Each structure stands twice: as structure tokens, then as C-alpha cells.
Amino acid sequence: MENTRDATCKTQEIEFLAQPWASAQNVPEIQDLDRLKGYTSIEIYNGLIFRLTGTGLATDVWDYLLSRGRLVWGFGNDDFHRWYDLARTYNMIYSSRKDFKAVQDSIQNGSFYVSTGMELTGFECDQEFVRISARAANKHVKENKYIFTGKNGEVLSEQCGEYGLYKIRGDEMYIRVQVISEHGAMLWTQPVYDEARFKKV
């Protein structure tokens, strides 16, 4: 893995850790991730794994790394091996241009979110509040569940409504938001964070 990482860095490609919980029979120790360096992201949702033996959801691993001061972004992936695995999840990237370099820069800066069918319609963060709104693809349902998560996976606030609003205490290491629609579609934002408490891995 270290050799792969070195080769990836030399070509300036984007490296992320995939499928942390891919197999229920071969579960790695989460502490093993502490010795790996150089990656910028982790796969927090893998649509394929849910029909196999493991779990495709790895937000617990994400929180573990973030809580240890390792700034990594969350990715989603279909990982389709069969046609019916397609279109389970995607990453919505914010980029000023469509060329490779611009998209690559946006990913490396965390300017994207992960979705299984929800659209982020608003996201604001200042010194006092984090405000977020989203809608499902059908656009008819107005209310969703908004879960604000912090260090060690602590749920800072859970709300239902047309938007989520979290009042910042000031001692949070990071805040990330998950949105869930009534029919199960989900969305995850990248964390907003205290820069003084993080380092690139």
C-alpha cells in the first residue's frame, strides 16, 4: 500500500482509502489507519458492499480520523460490478471550470458533497451558525432530518424541518452534517473545522 501511495503522489492523482468495512469476515483494526500517510480522502459510502458481507457505511472511520486531527474528505462510490449497482451514490463537485485541474483542485480542497439522491440547496457557515438545506430528487418533500456531528461521532444536534441550523459553541473540533430524507436518500457534507487542530495526512 505504501508503494502505491508513493506512486500516486508522484503523478498528483487523488488517493483515498476505499471500503474500510468491506468484509465482515476480515475486519481490520481501525488503529491500523494511524500509520498510513499521504491520502486525502476516505470512502464513507460504498453502494456495492451492502449486498455483500460487510457494510458500505464508514462514517465511524471518518470520525475516528477527524477526531485524531487528520483532515480527510469523505467520498461516495457506486463501485458497480453489475449493472444494478449503478447510480447508488455520487459526489457533487463545486468547480469554477470543467477541466481536469479545476476539478482536481476542488476535490483536494473538499469542495464537494456525497449523496445517494439528495441535492444540497444551501450551506452557510459563519462565526455563529451552520445553516444547511437540502431536498430529495422528487422535490415534493420539504422536511428532512439534519444531523450535526462532531468529534468522536458525537451528535451535536438532530433536527427535522425545511432546513437545519446549528449554533456554534466555539469548542467544536469539527462539524459535519448528514441529511436524511423520508424515503431514505442521504447526503453528507465535508466537515467545517478548526484549522489549528488539524493536519494534512
Q: What is the pLDDT of residues 30-44, one digit of tens each?
A: 777 777 777 888 889
Q: What is the pTM of this model?
A: 0.83
Which domain, by its residues, includes 113?
A: 2-200
- Provide the pLDDT for residue 31: 72
Which CATH number fits the domain that encloses residue 179? 3.20.20
Answer yes or no: are the C-beta atoms of 144 and 179 closer than 8 Å: yes
SS3 67: helix
Could you give phi then psi for residue 82, rounded to 5 degrees? -130, 160
Structural domains in the chain (count)? 1
- Provide the pLDDT for residue 80: 60
Residues of the chain whose pLDDT is less than 70?
Answer: 1-14, 16, 18-29, 47-55, 78-87, 139, 199-201
- Provide the pLDDT for residue 32: 72
